[in-house]
Amino acid sequence: MSWKKDEDTDELGAVMNLDHSTVLQEARVFNQTPIRPRQSRVLLAKILFLIYRGDNMSTSVATNLFFSITKLFQSKDMSLRQMVYLAIKELSTISEDVIMVTSSLMKDMQSKSEMTYRANAIRALCKIVDPSMLPGIERFIKAAMVEKSPSIASAALVSGLHLFGEAKDVVRRWGNEANEALNSKGLSQGPSFFGGAAGQSQVVSTSNIVQYHAIGLLYAIRQHDRMAVLKLVQTFSGQSKSSSWLGGSSATLRSSMAQVMLVRYAVRVMEGDASLQGQLHALLEEWIRHRSDMVSLEAARAMCQLREVTGKQLTSAVSALQVFLSSPRPTVRFAAMRTLSTLARTHAEAVQPCNVDMEGLITDANRSVATLAITTLLKTGNEASVDRLMKQMQGFMAEISDEFKTIVAEAVRSLCRKFPAKHGVFLAFLAGVLRDEGGFEFKRAAIEAIMDLAKHVPECKEAALAHLCEFIEDCEFSKLSVRVLHFLGEEGPHTARPTMYIRHIYNRVVLENAMVRAAAVSALAKFGASPSADAALQRSVRVLLRRCLDDREDEVRDRAAWALRIIDDGSARDKYVRDDSTFALAVLERKLVEYCGSSAASATRFNFNVVPRISRAQEEETRSRARMETMDAVLTGSAVSAPAQHRPGTRDASEPGTPAAGGAAGAPMDVFEQQAQYASKLNAIPELAAFGAQPLVSSQKPVDLTEAETEYVVRCVKHVYEGHIVFQFDITNTIPEQVMEQVEVAMEPEEDVSDSLQPVVVVPIPELRCDEPGTAYVAYERTDLETFPAATFACIMRFIVKECDPATGEPEEGDDGFEDEYSLEAADLGAGDFMQATYIPDSQTLWETLGQAGEAVETFALANFDSIEECVERVSDLLGMCPLEGALKPTSKAAHQAVFTGKWMGATRTVARTRMTYQKGSGVTMELAVRSEDQGVSELVVSAIA
């Protein structure tokens, strides 16, 4: 809303500066006789404004106000009555005894009442009604759902959606009425939501909004019945009876918004079923050609987001989006551009045909569209177009918001790695935007991009560091100054002229606040402790650090004293400054919480050896991935995804000696965070809580014990403690007509392991309803801690089955059920399960230190693998170790070397090296060499492959 300065400034100020107590005093007007409609409407608007502004209102005040407002029901003024409904809905959540107004609302819901009264009364009544009272008004709501008036039908359907969370059993009985509302053809002929009194001319609604609300309620009712949702999709997909895969008649959705919801429901219910992939693609192809732009855009977006979609399947979606790029409506251009920008992250080659159209949008009047266009071109363009794009982008940076400036900076950052030869252009652009005005996130993205250039393009390192030094001379954000100082301390000592950076760092000690001064002292310490620092440089650093001993801040003085100590102490220098590893923070946090919460544990020193370590490169990669997910969420308007449950070390290592990242196994920090969550969950189970006194060595990634399409979906996760092994079974029942009770998994080892493993605990699932996952546990005690058994366990799921109503999920009365069992695939326990996949710094030195005394070597002929990449991923899974040096991304198809590190039972350091060769026809030949602090451990690790 815009306000004219010369006319409305006083009125706007009066609204924005409403006094809470004054408004409540004015509320006495509600008790006056006769009722004054205009004054009451204004006062109700002020009360609603106070509520929306977030003003606190006590329960007693709200209750008194609520019942004062109900006296306005005596007025027949339609505008006042609408304001009364709004006020009742807002005050109902903070008032007491609101149920007393039910009779007035019930009166307005009668069929003889005004149309506007009925619709608003339904919405207000469903807001205040108690779920136990819902059956009493059920018949009114069901009748309203099939009314010819769109306002009344929509009010009833939306109220059903709001009530579904609190009264599922009652709302599920409204499915027939919702289906009738969805299929009715006469709903657009009644009066509009804002219809007037009887006898007045009515505005006819043609929005078909009832279908949109009806399909939403119908899906909420049927969402746990997969076949019912499939039937819903088939009925309204526009396919003929002969082409339907479920049979039945075909119907039409006249509402484009309802059609959009149908697209989403189709993808949600069909994407995970391999047998329906063909039908899903056919449906999306048909919807992409829909006459409504919003339906076509939604279908194209859904096609672009499908898992494992091919470039050929994307052709129609990209073509439709390309047409939308020339739409005269900015919203359509923005939606198409945002979808293409997201697609370019994973299928850049599929978006390249749109490059010419996107270049035309760089000068679009809507700067959001222009920003997305240029950032997408940066992902899909070639090296020759970089100069032109960067020049165009620099022209409108001052005209866009900080949010889109951040997107641009992130796009340039990804481009830096793609075209390192253009580092001069990128660096000039980033240095220029750092001088412009901008918020914290934008400046952070720009300096992170410059840091990436410095780390990955050696030719521009000194120039990048110079720009960072210039930035901190006039930086308004202390956190960014600390980040830059830390980076200067990491990279500056390895340059040809480290002294030029020391001057800029010491300036921060003199001119900045305590936080920045402390970071500057730490950076100076890294210069003095660097292996490349000569005697003159160390002497200069000592002089500067001694001056810091007189600082007024304790933290700065302590860091300076610590730095002076470690510069002269070689062992301390290697441990605290040159060590490239850090703790897995999720596990460290959990261990510290447990330590502080236990009086017995806090009596002893905290044991840091139980906390796994990761490399700083791994930590940085995880942060970078989280940052990219955040940017994806900004581009797509979706929620940030949760960390994947994968094993460590699958991202590409950018430098030799750093752990791998990306790929199938996931990020290391995700594994430790997931392990911390597992540990908390296990400790919360009474039967397993005693195991929490032992360190949780490892939690393996989930393994499917059933096919995805079967009636029961079961996944197994193995948790290894020092003295116990816990098998976690995540079970999902996909049959709507039955409820499972006392669900447990019986495990029987195929080998004799009774001398080392004994079953001690079985935790069943009391009740398992359809599509409500549950977890069962089986725990074994390790009776011989010196033995590490490798065994295969036959698994059978046993349970009691009871028939139930698919609509409510409640078991039938008097049904005692019957016992049943279901065979699962076997669960394997191997040597890799006892290994903690943790990063060990300087693995080369450890390998040489361990020597051949603790070495085990074996050669394997692995004929079942068709490539080295497939083989190395499987070997990584079997060893359960952390891969280093780009282990999971072979650069050659004929030969590959990989290094893995870990700690056996979280204590014994172990390094494994593999050499692989591939020959077509004979598979992979692999030599595995393992060195450990215990010869027996080396032999056990080798046996994991055998």
Q: Which long-range contacts (CB under 8 A, 24 or more apart) does 53-62 make?
A: 53/18, 55/20, 57/20, 57/94, 59/94, 59/95, 59/96, 61/24, 62/91, 62/94, 62/95
How far is it, in rounded angstroms, from Cα 613 to Cα 843? 13
The confidence score (pLDDT) of residue 878 equals: 83
42 or 661: which leads in pLDDT: 42
How far is it, in rounded angstroms, from Cα 719 to Cα 834? 9
Count of other CB atoms within 10 angstroms of residue 694: 13
The mean pLDDT of the chain is 78
Highest mean pLDDT among 592-606, 884-898, 915-929: 915-929
How far is it, in rounded angstroms, from Cα 819 to Cα 538? 78
Q: Identify each DSSP E strand in 784-865 by its residue range.
A: 791-803, 818-823, 827-829, 835-836, 855-862
pLDDT-based confidence at 575, cuts 50/70/90? Answer: low
Q: Which range (158-167, 408-417, 470-479, 535-544) has the least confidence?
A: 408-417
pLDDT-based confidence at 204, cuts 50/70/90? Answer: very low
46 or 812: which leads in pLDDT: 46
Q: Which residues make Cβ contacts (< 8 Å) with residue 419, sequence separation at least 6? A: 383, 386
Which three-class secondary structure state does DSSP give residue 921?
A: coil
* Phi, psi (degrees; rounded to nearest 5) at 284: -65, -40
Chain segment 292-350, per-residue pLDDT in tens: 889 999 999 988 888 878 888 888 989 999 999 988 998 999 999 999 988 888 888 88
pLDDT-based confidence at 139, cuts 50/70/90? Answer: confident
Instruction: Give, for 300, the enclosing helix (H) or strand (E).
Output: helix 293-305
Task: Classify residue 715 by its DSSP letter.
Answer: E
**Confidence check: pLDDT of 475 > 50:** yes
The confidence score (pLDDT) of residue 565 equals: 84
Sign of the C-alpha dihedral computed for residues 563, 567, 572 and 576 taken in this order: positive
Q: Identify each DSSP E strand in 555-679 by its residue range.
A: 581-583, 613-615
The confidence score (pLDDT) of residue 334 equals: 92
**Confidence check: pLDDT of 644 > 60:** no
Chain segment 206-222, per-residue pLDDT in tens: 458 888 888 888 888 88
Cβ contact 912:899 at 8 Å = yes
pLDDT-based confidence at 241, cuts 50/70/90? Answer: very low
**Confidence check: pLDDT of 193 > 70:** no
How far is it, in rounded angstroms, from Cα 904 to Cα 856? 15
Chain segment 77-111, per-residue pLDDT in tens: 888 888 888 888 888 888 887 777 777 777 777 76
**Confidence check: pLDDT of 682 > 70:** yes
Q: pTM of the prediction? A: 0.63
The confidence score (pLDDT) of residue 146 equals: 86
134 burial (CB, 10 Å; 0-12 / 13-18 / 19+) is middle
Percent of residues, the chain, with pLDDT higher than 90: 3
The confidence score (pLDDT) of residue 844 equals: 77
Torsion of the alpha carbons at 220, 223, 228 and 230, rounded to the nearest 10: 110
Taking CA atoms, 141 is separated from 71, 170, 217, 667, in Å, by 25, 11, 13, 51
Q: Which residues make Cβ contacts (< 8 Å) with residue 367, sequence separation at least 6? A: 396, 399, 400, 401, 404
The confidence score (pLDDT) of residue 727 equals: 92
268 or 391: which leads in pLDDT: 268
2 or 238: which leads in pLDDT: 238
β-partners of residue 725 are: 720, 780
Q: Please report, as a single letter, which amino acid is at residue 849.
A: T
**Confidence check: pLDDT of 640 > 80:** no
518 or 94: which leads in pLDDT: 518
Chain segment 349-369, per-residue pLDDT in tens: 888 888 888 888 887 888 788
Q: What is the mean pLDDT of residues 447-472?
A: 85
Cβ contact 472:485 at 8 Å = yes
Q: What is the mean pLDDT of residues 223-242?
A: 73
Nearest to 130 by CA among 155, 154, 156, 96: 96
